[in-house]
């Protein structure tokens, strides 16, 4: 089977996850590409953009929004893991997701990740709002393993 570009970018996120000291297991969550189950209690959706320069624009189809919504309604811990070229990975938790996009929308939604200065943190905006604080680059993958 041919290796696809998305496999390399998803691999960057998954490698960082499996190397974390709290990692125990990685499984496919369902048949959606990029939807994984970490340690039996955390669901992640991995998306990537291959461009090297900020900002990185991530679009979410109605089907992808439905998957996120289903996981949240089932009570799962849910994260979006946005691979930004070869530069960084941005992890967004369910509260941040709800600030940025309308997961109940029947239309496409978007999230933009921007690094405003060299070595600066990530600033995130979405279809319905913006985060009021930046996210440091080193938040991933630790954020996925923090206890509530």
Taking residues 33-59, report their average pLDDT. 94
Helix (H) or strand (E) holding 62: helix 62-73
The pLDDT value given to residue 32: 86
The pLDDT value given to residue 1: 73
Instruction: Please state, in angstroms and rounded to a whole number, the distance separating the CA atoms of residues 100 and 112.
Output: 9
The pLDDT value given to residue 117: 81
Statement: residue 148 has pLDDT above 60: no
Decide the pairing of beta strands 77-84 and 42-49. parallel
pLDDT digits over 114-142, tens only?
998 877 899 999 999 999 999 999 999 99
pTM of the model: 0.93
Decide the pairing of beta strands 42-49 and 26-28. unpaired
Decide the pairing of beta strands 35-38 and 88-93. unpaired
pLDDT digits over 92-101, tens only?
999 999 999 9
CB 111 within 8 A of CB 60: yes
């Amino acid at each position: 089977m041919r290796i696809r570009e998305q496999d390399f970018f998803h691999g960057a996120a998954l490698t960082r996850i499996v190397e974390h000291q709290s990692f125990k297991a990685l499984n496919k969550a369902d048949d959606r590409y990029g939807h994984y189950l970490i340690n039996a209690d955390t669901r992640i959706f991995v998306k990537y953009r291959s461009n090297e320069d900020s900002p990185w624009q991530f679009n979410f189809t109605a089907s992808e929004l439905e998957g996120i919504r289903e996981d949240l309604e089932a009570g799962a811990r849910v994260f979006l893991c946005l691979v930004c070229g070869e530069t960084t990975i941005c992890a967004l938790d369910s509260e941040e997701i709800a600030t940025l996009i309308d997961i109940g929308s029947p239309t496409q939604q978007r999230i933009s990740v921007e690094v405003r200065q060299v070595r600066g943190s990530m600033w995130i905006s979405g279809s319905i709002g913006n985060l009021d604080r930046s996210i440091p680059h080193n938040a991933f993958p630790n954020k996925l393993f923090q206890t509530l």
